[in-house]
Structure 1
């Protein structure tokens, strides 16, 4: 039996390999901590209250803007308070993005990838203007864009929609100077930032016949919080993808070539390793470079799909990887053997995919759509995300249980090692030590992966909750975990590749091909150890797998 590289690689070479991979892992953390900026930035824009252009209510070619030549006529707060009803349908809240800084005009970069907009309302108490509990506010929202070199008034229509949001406000001290405490309102999400400047016009149309915006209180101001990915972080992220992508492709080709050199068909773990490498390659493929040249609003949805495929493959692999060293099999292992384990992973991933399509899929047609726009929808979305986090924790504890069973299985069989020859005992003790180290690395990788998944779900929910600005997750964690996936899978593919080293073979008369007595003892015990019943798999991936299976059978 040839075994795997994990079993047959010399201690010196294995130490060099592990040391090199650990150095690469540290570098990934340092890149995120020392080079990359924070993953996302937040900017809050106070809406400019402007007088509407006559005849522009249903005209998407006329835009109200607050900076540049031909800027709008602003309305003072005192005028609004005296004529709030008469001026209600003549008011436009204007937001130009991004804000200038230190007198310099800034523009968005395509490296920033996406843009999320969230509204915050300032509603003042007024004895003549009622704010009903759970009032519905109707927003006429219109989004436009222009690029560098365009005239100040050359705004082009991007999207528009008449949206309804539920106001969730509370207040105790009711006085003329009091502002209600209101929750944020998710407004829009752009899957790409292909243009340099964006303009948002928000109107609050009042219609007594349709009872539109009659009981929303005295809205003094609107604040728009915009969240976008930092361009510097995107550059670091894409650099890591560009570096890892060819390495994973090359090691997959090398691994599969070695497997096909064997005189047997590939086993389940080898198929799973190939699938895991393919899922990681799909994740590593730096498609984001295309967004620098083309407008690809579906890129955010595609990124979620790629991440989901990788999660599904990685979680499935861990279950099978632990199961192959723990369970008793009557013949070769197949995916059907683990259908109960894998069905839970598949159901969870499909559910998350359906949820994501309902949110980001609909935003491809209407960026103002949000499943969070009603209280019921927000509760359903938050519950879904909470269940995903709980499921991830349950999965981790179940994986820990399986790995513990593997350790118990191997520990039981270790009691038979003293009866073997010294060379044979040292061989298996070394193999078990290496395997235990690999399983501990698997646990660490699983723990960080689950933590990263939960943080990602928390980020998704915090974008739509009351405090969207507190997103201080460090870049070091994201780049470190991403590098860990690549390094861990790279190491697995190498260590579980078939080894070219062979045990000495026996001759036709039952003697070995070498005269060394120690080698004769090793070969004899190897033949006796692998004399499994005829209904078991005669060609395991490694001697350790046979070791674990025979322990289970005993």
Structure 2
């Protein structure tokens, strides 16, 4: 009976394959660490206070350029000139002078920073909420008129702390205010952008009352670096055909078998499909098209892949538990796979509530309200807890597989020397593959932690190593190499058991191995020996 390649390939060839995969894994880390720049760049802006003498939405107010707006330095000047708060517009031109945006930046994320000073007669209420009338426009040259892109009235809750005593002698000192989410655009299809922010005041409706004295408004723009985008696209373009080719080759070998594919073979093929789906570099089209949905589409692709990967690990370990009463049935794993699918669906709904709405209103943020913040935090906490529990459960299943295989090793001394050495090698191969699986899961967790706490780069001699970029490209390369290795090693082999064994094995009973990839008739043990073999 033909087995899998991992069972029949010689140790020398397997070592060569492993070394090649390891070299590619190291290269994937080096590409991000030494070639690619930091994944993102943050640029601070300070809004210019313009006077809108024509009231609301009569024109776009420019902080500089050919037709700059009428400016004021501070609100003291506005009071002296009898300019009302409703006639002041905070204008920000993106990018800074003599620069232009590029579609290689992929997305723009903005956070808002209010600079509020303490005034005894105008303090911030505990439940202070600022109402923002925000508008966004774009153009592709410096002479064209601004084209409106988005407009919305949003509310953001102020979370400010005054570091000193609230006394008259401390008037003029700034509050310490948290950054507020402001806007996210899923594409950078134009060269210049203009943001106009109004803070309308209406005492009767209590709009923008009790928010303190705002001195300035700052914006921080975050976008993906063009250099990192090019490296990322190049990796996806290179890896897509490699996974596609191995997937076609793998399924062709499955179809050449005289039996129908078993569950593990189907799941491996589905894993290859999900990897191909996330690899396909459709992002190239974002360079020439204004596809604002690319961020959401990327989240969906990533969610499908991770759901498939988590489900695969469960089935992969379960199919190697030889003492299970039932195998080769998807229904056996519904208790484990069901929560994964349900959790992925919940995360999809959460993403649609954020980025789905931003397709029509880039100023929307689920973090803007208390209910949205609590909901978002609940999702993140629950997802983190579930991820930890899943990893522990996966470790437990791998432990069960190890214990099961070790229990079967007690029968090895009863075999002939050649056969015993053969199966000792197989046991080592499967244990090593299980450890690699756990290492992949652990590296993903480490990647998430480092991306949150790391400064982003290390200095090593005369070189700067971009840690975040290295982990982005390294982990992405790792998943591709892992899927590639699984499809290659678990493809049916053209060899047959005993073809390369010594003559004393030629006329013995075929032996079932640890992998269930060739088993379609229910549970089997790590191997089965005839009574004659047991007596040997």
The question of whether the paired residues in 2 share the 8 Å contact of 1:124 and 1:178 is answered with yes
Task: State the 1:245 CA deviation.
Answer: 0.3
* Counterpart Cα distance in 1 of 2:103 and 2:314: 40
Q: What RMSD over aligned residues (CA atoms) do the two structures have, in Å?
A: 2.4
Task: State the 1:98 CA deviation.
Answer: 1.2
**Which 10-residue stretch deviates more, 23-32 or 5-14?**
5-14
Task: State the 1:6 CA deviation.
Answer: 0.5
Picking from 500, 519, 530, the partner of 2:503 is: 519
- Aligned position for 1:333: 328
Picking from 92, 116, 139, the partner of 2:89 is: 92
Q: So what's the TM-score if we normalise by structure 1? A: 0.88
Give the secondary-structure state (helix, strand or coil) at the position aligned to 2:264: helix
- Aligned position for 1:65: 62
- Aligned position for 2:485: 491
- Aligned position for 1:197: 192
- Aligned position for 1:318: 313
Picking from 432, 438, 446, the partner of 2:441 is: 446
The question of whether the paired residues in 1 share the 8 Å contact of 2:132 and 2:197 is answered with yes
Residue 128 to residue 331, structure 1, CA distance change in 2 (3 Å): closer
For structure 2, the residue ranges without an aligned partner over 5 or more in a row are 454-465, 530-536
Report Cα offsets for 1:272-296 as digits up to 9, x if no partner: 1100000000000001000111100
- Aligned position for 1:509: none
Report Cα offsets for 1:21-74 as digits up to 9, x if no partner: 10000000000000011111101101111111414x144xx1001121110111
- Aligned position for 1:126: 119
- Aligned position for 2:129: 136
The question of whether the paired residues in 2 share the 8 Å contact of 1:372 and 1:378 is answered with yes
Residue 358 to residue 550, structure 1, CA distance change in 2 (3 Å): farther
Picking from 150, 153, 170, the partner of 1:162 is: 153
- Equivalent residue runs for 1:328-367 within 5 Å: 328-330=323-325, 332-367=327-362
The question of whether the paired residues in 2 share the 8 Å contact of 1:322 and 1:403 is answered with yes
The question of whether the paired residues in 2 share the 8 Å contact of 1:326 and 1:549 is answered with no
- Aligned position for 1:466: none
- Aligned position for 1:540: 519
- Equivalent residue runs for 1:347-496 within 5 Å: 347-452=342-447, 474-496=468-490
Task: State the 1:330 CA deviation.
Answer: 4.4
Residue 223 to residue 75, structure 1, CA distance change in 2 (3 Å): same
Q: So what's the TM-score if we normalise by structure 2? A: 0.90
Task: State the 1:329 CA deviation.
Answer: 4.3
Give the secondary-structure state (helix, strand or coil) at the position aligned to 2:90: strand
Residue 90 to residue 385, structure 1, CA distance change in 2 (3 Å): same
- Aligned position for 1:465: none
Task: State the 1:548 CA deviation.
Answer: 3.5
* Counterpart Cα distance in 2 of 1:358 and 1:111: 26
* Counterpart Cα distance in 1 of 2:387 and 2:2: 37
Task: State the 1:80 CA deviation.
Answer: 4.2
Task: State the 1:541 CA deviation.
Answer: 7.7
Q: Does 1:77 align with 2:84?
A: no
Q: Does 1:299 align with 2:278?
A: no
Report Cα offsets for 1:451-474 as digits up to 9, x if no partner: 445677x69xxxxxxxxxxxx861
Picking from 88, 99, 110, the partner of 2:103 is: 110
Task: State the 1:539 CA deviation.
Answer: 4.7
Task: State the 1:87 CA deviation.
Answer: 2.2
- Aligned position for 1:467: none
* Counterpart Cα distance in 1 of 2:209 and 2:219: 23
* Counterpart Cα distance in 1 of 2:527 and 2:222: 53
Residue 325 to residue 270, structure 1, CA distance change in 2 (3 Å): same
Give the secondary-structure state (helix, strand or coil) at the position aligned to 1:50: strand
**Which 10-residue stretch deviates more, 338-347 or 80-89?**
80-89
The question of whether the paired residues in 2 share the 8 Å contact of 1:503 and 1:523 is answered with no
Residue 299 to residue 538, structure 1, CA distance change in 2 (3 Å): closer
The question of whether the paired residues in 2 share the 8 Å contact of 1:423 and 1:522 is answered with no
Q: Does 1:230 align with 2:190?
A: no
Report Cα offsets for 1:308-328 as digits up to 9, x if no partner: 000000000001001111154
Residue 293 to residue 78, structure 1, CA distance change in 2 (3 Å): closer
For structure 1, the residue ranges without an aligned partner over 5 or more in a row are 460-471, 506-513, 531-536
